[in-house]
Structure 1
Amino acid sequence: MIDDESFKDLPYEEKIKIMNGMTDKQLQESLEQVKFMCKDFCGKCPSYQGTGETNLAFCSLGKSSLIKEKKGCLCKQCPISKMMSLRWEFYCTEGNAMELAIAEKK
């Protein structure tokens, strides 16, 4: 297994390869941690507020069906972006990181 310091320096695509080796339980626990951290970012984002949206973790789960207008983005400030080496923004309207990584290659 890779140590935390080495993991931190890997690009997003390499981190996903490592995560693919996780058990379902580990993945679920990881997602719960992401959602907990997202409350302070997704939940306070100008694009999120006032839309009626209650979901979080768009970088992992995909875009919102309720958020239609880009009013600002806190994604780059989110610790998940730093931890996972995410390089995109507006996951709530554009899609999850995996979708954006694939679209980048096309």
Structure 2
Amino acid sequence: MRYTSMANEENFRNATFEEKYRMFMGADIRPSDVKRNAEQAASMCLCVKCPSYAGTDETGLVFCTIGKSTKIQENKGYLCPSCAISRTMSLRWDAYCIKGDAASLSDLAGK
């Protein structure tokens, strides 16, 4: 996603997760953008270094996006709050590997 002005960057920086989600998942998003965004998220992901991930034979990443793990069952601590994805996307939850993806935990879920 390209920003044409500092105002747009400032708006993005101050936006909630729900607002950012709508920006990234809007109707006009191209499949190539979805793929690029997923690759970028995977490169920033800390899941593989997480205490809850270690020793579980899990191979998935970016649980904040894909949702719960089928292999991670025990809370051994989380790195979610220190992850660049959390900061970039204004995520306010943790333990996505056990609780589910950010969209399902957010106001987008219609709770």
Structure 1 unaligned runs (5+)? none
Select the structure of larger CA radius of gyration. Answer: 2
1:12-57 deviation line (CA, Å, top 9, x unaligned): 000111112321110111011111111xx11110000000001100
Distance apart, 1:4 and its partner CA = 2.7
Aligned length, in residue pairs: 104
Q: Show the counterpart of 1:32.
A: 39
Structure 2 unaligned runs (5+)? none
TM normalised by structure 1 equals 0.90
| C-alpha RMSD of the superposition | 1.7
Distance 1:27 1:8 in 2: 20
TM normalised by structure 2 equals 0.86
Distance apart, 1:103 and its partner CA = 8.2
Question: Within 5 A, what are the aligned runs for 1:1-106?
Answer: 3-21=8-26, 22-38=29-45, 41-102=46-107, 106=111
The structure 1 segments of at least 4 consecutive aligned residues displaced by more than 3 Å after TM superposition are 102-105
Distance 1:102 1:73 in 2: 22
